[in-house]
Amino acid sequence: MFNSYFSFQGHTMNPHYQVLFDKVPIGPVVAPNRFYQVPHASGMTEANPRVRAAFRGLKAEGGWGVVSTGAVSIHPSSDDSPLPYARLWDDNDIHAHALSCDAIHQHGALAAIELWHGGASVMNRSSRIAPYSPSGIGWAATHVGFMGQLRPKIMDTTDIQDVVRWQGQAAIRAKKAGFDIIYVYAGMGYLPYQFLISEYNRRDDAYGGSVANRVRFVHELIDATRDAVGDSCAVALRISLEELRAKPSNHFESEAHEVVSLLSEVPDLWDVKMDSSPTDCSASRFRPEGSHESIIDFVKQITNKPVVGVGRFTSPDTMTSQINRGILDLIGGARAGIADPFLPNKIKAGREDEIRECIGCNICISSWHDGVPVRCTQNATAGEEWRKNWHPEKFNRTSSEDRLLIIGAGPAGLEAALIAAKQGFQVTLSDQSKTMGGRLNFETALPGLSTWRRVIDYRLYALKQMNNVDLYSNSELSRDDILELGHERVVVATGAKWTKSLYSSLEIPVGELNQANVYTPDDIAAGIKINGPVLVYDFDNYYLGGVLAEKLAAQGLSVSYATPAGHASAWTIMTNEQPFVHQNLENAGIPVITQVLLQSHENETVGLANIFTEKLQQLAAKSVLIVGLRIPNDSLYQTLISNPNATLAAGIKSVDRIGDCLAPGAIVHAIYSGHDYARNLVTTRSDLYLRDIPIAVNPPGAVI
């Protein structure tokens, strides 16, 4: 039986936040409150309709008044393969979407669908149809992941009419599936957006030239949607305004003002945003909460229709301010609702202190690029609602009397402690450091990473409220201590350490540069002062190498950054951060040397060999900081399991390792590992790989 941890009792809502719970009419439908889960990618395709329905349905359960799909392709000429996109190409697809609508409606929310044509931004790798575009200009064609060799065709009038017709047909299917709000999507490089922007739209017919001509296609798409379903469904326009706002207009403040004026009362809802993933869905490292405001703040002054926008809002004060200052009517959330689907209900219950706030790390975005259902650093249950039957606020209660001893209070240990405690276990969490949080204590003090502190704060706050939890800092535990304590279940979460391994031309860590003035991030964390000039040599490829380079430069040291990869912090392409990583390094005066292997460090000079030609370059560097390979800190675990008779005699039933101690990874992996361990104490379902399957009512090709 599920036992809800989250309780509405004993708290009341702050009356200041009442405005967030006003109803908002949107065309023929009414949103029950102002919390609007805007369209966002979930990595869930037709292959996993139940995963998708459970993921979206949970947002409605958590209080979001409107819950949207991600982009849903209207036709095979909008084929984003191999990315995990959803479709509404024929009547078969209706059934999968209907599952989501039912799950959303069950909790009284409205269901929205973002109909989408990718135009020049898709390569149609599966359908092999020449991509559509206004003027034959590709979108991000040199960008890894988008790169392809097929340039888009220039649409003729028939092509334009086809897309408009497909939008109407898809809208009819969407209505049949049960959606209440149907989108036209004119953002982020997709087809209607390309018609709006003069650089992409060089047509000299009725669809190009003046702004009035450039909006014609969008207007026709809205009209086609309304003609198809407007009697009972609202028609929303999602539009990117960053580029348009930067363009002067003859009679308006900007082209953005002109476009919104021309279409002001045409859609039932304006959903306004930025233009490219790195700015639209920006990481907290580079953009604060509410960073869209300076671009979209004018829209409500021009239209009488409701306006929704985003900005990684997690604070009810910021949300209330957006409404009261007349910036937005509906508070859009994507990441906020991934990290905590119950954010609205927690505000309503006066429990905003319990919101599991998004940290803006963009691991969720990386899962889209990886082609898998969404993963979240803060919320291990995201994407696992159906597959593992994990609910973020409800837990199976244990009937076991087993006591848990968790050694190490990094993200893995904190999460395991919290989830085990919520399931009713008596939990002891101990850490040798004076502050809990493990590696995050160091990392969240680095440039740009303070928001990540929420990983510790959320968990420690919750743990401190519970009377079945004992927290011990400054408590290093040895094998003998653990045997003496004799808790039935022992969990080792002692993290990992950085090594001085180098990197070989086979792209594997090899050897070690073990000499004076060679350091790892652990040395910096320990407060060791290093002398410049410094070379940061990074083959970890995530954030830390770049961030440490910034930190050392900020201390006044002369810093260079080198990597075997093609970019600084190469993996951050997956999290939308890479352009800003390069900007920051450039702004800090840190030279970036790519595609090199560190070979030597002698006489205050490093030798760097080009990975393709082996050509050597030398660089002055008194110190070298290697951000490369991490290995588990698992000696305590190994000692414990090396003598099973001793642990058994001490009454210990199980010894496990979790997090970096098991397999070093990002924070998301440590949190998941701790969560998975704790859930498995009470349920065995998560041991299975439960596989979702497509719903096919009609044979392939029977209905189009």
Among 160, 359, 412, 655, binds ligand ADP (CB under 6 A): 412
Alpha-carbon distances of 614 from 505, 510, 608, rounded to whole Å: 9, 17, 9
482 binds, among ligand SF4, ligand ADP, none (CB under 5 to 8 A by kind): none
- For the CB of residue 444, give the shortest distance to ligand ADP in the complex, in Å: 11
**Contact between 526 and 502 (Cβ < 8 Å):** no
DSSP 244-305: HHTS--SSSSSHHHHHHHHTTTSSSEEEEE-SSHHHHT--TTT--TTTTHHHHTTHHHH-SS
Nearer to ligand SF4, 259 or 363 (CB): 363
Q: Does 364 bind ligand SF4 (CB under 6 A)?
A: yes
Helix (H) or strand (E) holding 184: strand 181-186
Measured CA to CA, the distance from residue 355 to residue 549 in angstroms comes to 33
Report what 339 binds from ligand SF4, ligand ADP, none; CB cut-off 5-8 Å by kind: ligand SF4
Helix, coil or strand: residue 24: strand
The pair of structure tokens assigned to 577 is 């951060």
Residue 410 binds: one of ligand SF4, ligand ADP, none (C-beta under 5 to 8 A by kind): ligand ADP
Q: How far is the CB of 451 from ligand SF4 (least distance, A)?
A: 9
The CA distance from 330 to 303, in Å, is 14
CA–CA separation, 214 and 217 (whole Å): 7
Q: Checking phi first, is residue 219 left (phi over 0); if not, alpha (psi -120 to 50) or beta?
A: alpha
Does residue 311 bind ligand ADP (CB under 6 A)?
no
Per CB under 6 A, which region of 188-196, 211-219, 268-276, 427-435 contacts ligand ADP?
427-435
Residues 377-406 that bind ligand SF4 (CB under 6 A): 377-378
339 binds ligand SF4 (CB under 6 A): yes
| Contact status, residue 295 vs residue 241, Cβ threshold 8 Å | yes
* Cβ at position 304, least distance to ligand SF4 in Å: 33
Q: What is the largest CA-CA distance in the chain?
A: 85
What does 430 bind: ligand SF4, ligand ADP, none (CB cut-off 5 to 8 Å by kind)?
Answer: ligand ADP
Reply yes or no: is the peptide bond before residue 533 cis, omega within 30 of 0. yes
564 near 611, Cβ under 8 Å?
Answer: yes
> Which of 410, 424, 545, 628 touches ligand ADP by CB under 6 A?
410
Tell whether residue 675 is a contact of ligand ADP (CB under 6 A).
no
The single residue among 236, 319, 363, 562 that binds ligand SF4, judged by CB under 6 A, is: 363
Interface stretch with ligand ADP, choices 32-40, 69-77, 339-347, 489-497 (CB under 6 A): 489-497
Helices of type H across 526-659: 543-554, 578-587, 635-642, 644-649
> 378 touches which of ligand SF4, ligand ADP, none (CB within 5 to 8 A by kind)?
ligand SF4
Rounded least distance, CB 334 to ligand SF4, Å: 8
Look at residue 409 and give the partner it binds from ligand SF4, ligand ADP, none, a contact being a CB closer than 5 to 8 Å depending on partner kind: ligand ADP
- The DSSP output letter for 130 is P
Residue 376: which of ligand ADP, ligand SF4, none does it interact with, CB under 5 to 8 A by kind?
Answer: ligand SF4
| Residues with Cβ within 8 Å of residue 173, at least 6 apart in sequence | 88, 90, 91, 93, 94, 97
227 versus 481: smaller Cβ distance to ligand ADP: 481
Judged by CB under 6 A, the stretch of 24-32, 332-340, 345-353, 672-680 that binds ligand SF4 is: 332-340
Report the residue number, 156 or 476, with the smaller CB distance to ligand ADP. 476
Tell me how many residues contact ligand ADP (CB under 6 A): 24
Q: How many residues bind ligand SF4 (CB under 6 A)?
A: 13
State phi, psi for 66 to the nearest 5 degrees: -130, 135
Non-local (6+) Cβ contacts of 300 within 8 A are 307, 326, 327, 328, 329
> In the structure encoding, which two tokens stand for residue 630, read together?
């991490």
Stretch that binds ligand SF4, among 261-269, 360-368, 617-625, 677-685 (CB under 6 A): 360-368
- At 545, the amino acid letter reads G
Residues 429-488 that bind ligand ADP (CB under 6 A): 430-433, 438-439, 476-477
Minimum separation from the CB atom of position 575 to ligand SF4 (A): 8
Closest CA to 86 of 42, 46, 127, 115: 46
CB of 362 to ligand SF4, least distance (A): 5
440 binds ligand SF4 per the rule CB under 6 A? no
Which residues does the annotation mark as catalytic?
190
- Binding span for ligand SF4 by CB under 6 A among 198-206, 333-341, 479-487, 593-601: 333-341
Q: Which among ligand SF4, ligand ADP, none contacts residue 331 (Cβ within 5 to 8 A by kind)?
A: none
* Cα–Cα–Cα angle for 629, 500, 535, rounded to 5 degrees: 100
Judged by CB under 6 A, does residue 358 bind ligand SF4? yes
Angle, CA of 172, 176 and 182, to the nearest 5°? 55
**Options 80-88, 287-295, 309-317, 656-664: segment touching ligand ADP (CB under 6 A):** 656-664
Query: How many degrees, rounded to 5, is the angle at CA 222 between CA 217 and CA 227?
Result: 120
Structure-token pair, residue 322 = 């957006």
Take residue 480 and report the two structure tokens written for it. 């003998």
Stretch 616-645 residues interacting with ligand ADP (CB under 6 A): 633, 636
Q: Does 659 bind ligand ADP (CB under 6 A)?
A: yes
* Stretch touching ligand ADP by CB under 6 A, among 70-78, 207-215, 404-412, 592-600: 404-412
State the residue for tokens 């905590």. Answer: 340
Q: Is the dihedral of CA 522, 525, 528, 534 positive or negative?
A: positive
CB 442 within 8 A of CB 701: no
Instruction: Report the interface residues with ligand SF4, using CB under 6 A.
Output: 335, 338-339, 358-364, 376-378
Instruction: Report the interface residues with ligand ADP, using CB under 6 A.
Output: 407-413, 430-433, 438-439, 476-477, 493-495, 633, 636, 659-661, 670
